[in-house]
Chains A and B, each alone.
Chain A
Amino acid sequence: DTGVSQDPRHKITKRGQNVTFRCDPISEHNRLYWYRQTLGQGPEFLTYFQNEAQLEKSRLLSDRFSAERPKGSFSTLEIQRTEQGDSAMYLCAYRTASSGNTIYFGEGSWLTVV
């Protein structure tokens, strides 16, 4: 039980196509994060939301990436015009009001761009 559900878990897409990943918190999490992890590397921060407000975006988040969290519940991460370099695992993570600085990760969504 990771506290968030991610969908799809695996996605194979052709270069140039758009893809969207969804993250559903199991319960209320005030802060929700997106990270990207490539093979053999640690996760890298992309963006985070406090409720519905997107408070910070990494420079890694190019113009082809957009994230939303309508109504402060689920969140989506869209990648437009995918490139082979986008192949990675996209991790949703959360922090609750009672968890302090602790961030918990979901199972991730694997993207392969061919």
Chain B
Amino acid sequence: QQQVKQSPQSLIVQKGGISIINCAYENTAFDYFPWYQQFPGKGPALLIAIRPDVSEKKEGRFTISFNKSAKQFSLHIMDSQPGDSATYFCAASIGTSGSRLTFGEGTQLTVNP
């Protein structure tokens, strides 16, 4: 059973545009929601993370929006650049469970120059 569902599977954006990736979760015990960026042949790298006590977190061009009642969260990449082309994964964990992460299926982002 997929506990974290991610969409879209792939996304093509023009340089300077906004990339939006969405995730929905089922387990209300999740209390930590990170986003990872992964380039081909590399391990996932932490991009930004949020806890459910805030509705939005911004770091540079990256923003997480969190809707606890809808059990959804999303990643917004402002002013998308070709260097942002990568696969993005949302994830979730429960603080008391060793923090093991449950990942979404991933979104392959392509930013055209």
Contact = CB atoms under 8 A, between A and B. Distances in A.
Interface of A: 2, 31, 33, 35, 40-45, 48, 50, 55-56, 89, 91, 93, 95, 101-108
A43 B103 contact: yes
A104 B100 CA distance: 11
Given A42-B105, A43-B103, A108-B42, A102 B49 contact: yes
Contacts of B100: 33, 45, 48, 56
Given A101-B32, A102-B34, A43 B99 contact: no
A45 B102 contact: yes
B13 interface: no
A79 to B, nearest CB: 19
B78 to A, nearest CB: 23
A2 B105 contact: no
Nearest to A2: B43
Q: Interface SS of chain A: helix, strand, loop or mixed?
A: strand
A103 B91 CA distance: 11
Interface string B47-65: 0010000000000000000
A105 B45 contact: yes
A102 B43 contact: no
Residue from B6, B95, B99 whose CB has the most chain A CB atoms within 10 Å: B99
A36 to B, nearest CB: 11
A42 B93 contact: no
Contacts of B93: 101, 103
Contacts of A91: 43-44
A40 B106 contact: yes
Residue from A33, A95, A103 whose CB has the most chain B CB atoms within 10 Å: A103
